Chain A
Amino acid sequence: MGVEVIIKIAAIGLLTAIIGQILKQTGREEISTIASLAGLILVIIMVLNLIGELFATFNNLFKF
């Protein structure tokens, strides 16, 4: 829990961009779209997990 989440998301973003570019160069448009979509979903799941954790912590902290 810390900086690694931020770095991970940035890395996924750059990686999917590169993969998409390569796939586009080789003429596989639909696979490149799927790859970028997969990266996006991965990141959304990570952020949603973080938000869920935040809500759980808030519930514990402010419940009493």
Chain B
Amino acid sequence: MDIIIKIVAIGLITCLATLFVKPVRSDFAIFIAIAGGLVILFLILGYVSEIFDVFKNIIAATGVSSQLYKILIKIIGIGYLVEFAIGICNDTGNSSLGDKILLGGKIVVMVMALPIVTNILQIIIGLLPS
């Protein structure tokens, strides 16, 4: 509960700071927005690692290969990072650049997910009666 108050406060302070600075120097407003987003992200990341620890324990209990779990975690990380970068691009008015980052993220996720797909295919082939 403590953390959400912090996040909301930092978001509002960032909003007000950009509001004050924008009429004087519009180029600084973007930097303030980026810094505010980064600070909020830093606050959250500790909790994300906690969630991953719990996931790790669950995966270890089920006996699924940890290789697949690692790929999944990496894909989640790529998703968060790409979303953050796209937000910055949209804020600065380069929405087409954001789309390209999105495309890059999609392609990278697809490439990383290929081992899982081949794994599933192998399992299905193994199940089929020869």
Contact = CB atoms under 8 A, between A and B. Distances in A.
Contacts, number: 86
Q: How large is the interface on B (under 10, 10 to 19, 20 to 34, 35 or more residues)?
A: 20 to 34
B42 A58 contact: no
* Interface SS majority for chain B: helix
B39 A57 contact: no
Grouping DSSP codes into helix (H, G, I), strand (E, B) and loop, the A interface class, with mixed when no group exceeds half, is helix
Contact of A57 (B27, B29, B36, B42): B42
Given A51-B38, A54-B42, A17 B10 contact: no
Interface stretch (B17-25, B92-100, B101-109, B120-128): B17-25
For the complex of A and B, list the 8 residue pairs with the smallest distance between their C-beta atoms, beginning with the closest. A13-B28, A62-B77, A10-B17, A17-B24, A50-B38, A13-B21, A13-B25, A43-B31
